[in-house]
Each structure stands twice: as C-alpha cells, then as structure tokens.
A = this chain, B = another copy of it.
Amino acid sequence: MDPQATQPAAAGARLGRPRDASRDTDILEATIEVLAEQGFDGMTIDMVAARAGAGKATVYRRWPSKADLVIDAVACMKKRDLDPAQLPDTGTLRGDLIALVRAPSAADADRKMHVMGGILSLMSREPELARTAYAAILQPRITANRILLERARDRGETRPDIDVDRLAALMPAMSSFRTLAQREPITREFLISLIDDVLLPAAGVVRAAV
C-alpha cells in the first residue's frame, strides 16, 4: 500500500519539499470566482490556475479532475457560513429577518446564487454535487429562516398553523429567481420588501407602523 514505509510513521513527515497549504485555498477561491463568472462548462483549469497564480500541475497534484475540484470548492463554501448558534434574537421576527440581511450577506448571497447557476448543468450528472451544493449554499439559509420562524410561532407572533418549511424557502427562492431568471441584482431594498410585503403577511404577522 504505502510506498514510503521507511521511517516516517504512517502519516508522518514525508521526504522532499512539503506542500504549500496556501495554494489549496488560493485555488479553491479562484475556482469559486471563475465558476460564478463563467459557469462549469465555461470554466477552464487554465483560468483557475492563472487566477490563483499557480501552474496546472499544482492543481492536478491536488485534485484528480475538474469535476472533483469543483465539488471540493463548492463543499468548502459551507465552512465560512452563518452559525446556527449565534442567530440574531431581537425579540421580533421582523427584527431577526432584517438583521439577517445585513450588507455582506446580500453580496455574498448574490455570488452564491451565481455559483449555483454555474453548476446547474453539472448537478444533473453528479447527484453528489447536487447534495453538496444544496448543503453548502441553500441549506444554511433555509435552516436559519426555519429556526427564526419556529421561534416566532412559539412566541405566538405568527399564525400557529404556518407552513414553516414552505415559508423558510420563500426568500432564497425569490432571491435566486431574481438573480438567475430575471437577471436583476439582489439589493437590501428588495430583501426588505420581500420581508414586509410577502413573508410577514403570509405568516400572519400584523403589520406594524412603518
């Protein structure tokens, strides 16, 4: 199995120059960027390598194929994500939702949606990627919405019989639709209008004076 079974015990120090871990993250970030701009089929390994300031060999030493690189890059988007443990808790559903659409969140969501659009065609052929992308891009947001909605419902702020799952997917759905199909940017105004004109009325929250 292991051709290097001389002295370094198991996963110990290998011989020769060690790998530069910074190349990994640079390549993964470049992959996400090119993916968002060009889509999977429009993206070439040379583009990624050039943007990362790396050589093609350095890419292929780490990932066996273009598809594996993309799958790994998408999976790594999940890490720097909102932590369910520190969701906003302002006392009202509207306050929580508004807090969730702060400026960096909007720009970040816009790029994530473009990545999603870029790998749509590949997702048909790679079910594993489809699950990974859902978990990395959509699931966190939907889960956060679900938690906020359940909390508000248990407070008696909404109707008691709301369809939490459906409503939790509402904002991601309308956002992706606007970005990908209507090709208009996600703005803070759009998100707030979504909260006040669609989501809160649908949840049966009485409209406060604005």
Binding site for B on A (CB under 8 A): 37-42, 116-118, 120-121, 123-125, 130, 134, 138, 159, 162-163, 166-167, 169-170, 172-174, 176-178, 180-183, 193-194, 197-199, 201-204
Given contacts A120-B39, A193-B166, A201-B202, contact A138 B181 (CB under 8 A): yes
- CB pair A197–B138 under 8 Å, yes or no, is no
Closest to A176 in B: B177
Which residues of chain B are within 8 angstroms of A201 by Cβ–Cβ distance?
159, 201-204
Closest to A120 in B: B117
- CB pair B181–A177 under 8 Å, yes or no, is no
Which residues of chain B are within 8 angstroms of A130 by Cβ–Cβ distance?
183
- Most chain B C-beta atoms within 10 Å of own C-beta, residue among A138, A180, A203: A180
Closest to A174 in B: B173
Identify 18 new A-B residue pairs, CB closer than 8 A, beyond the known A134-B181, A159-B201: A37-B124, A38-B124, A39-B41, A41-B42, A118-B121, A134-B182, A138-B181, A162-B197, A166-B194, A167-B198, A169-B174, A170-B170, A172-B177, A172-B181, A173-B176, A173-B181, A176-B177, A199-B202
- Most chain B C-beta atoms within 10 Å of own C-beta, residue among A40, A130, A138, A197: A197
Closest to A118 in B: B121
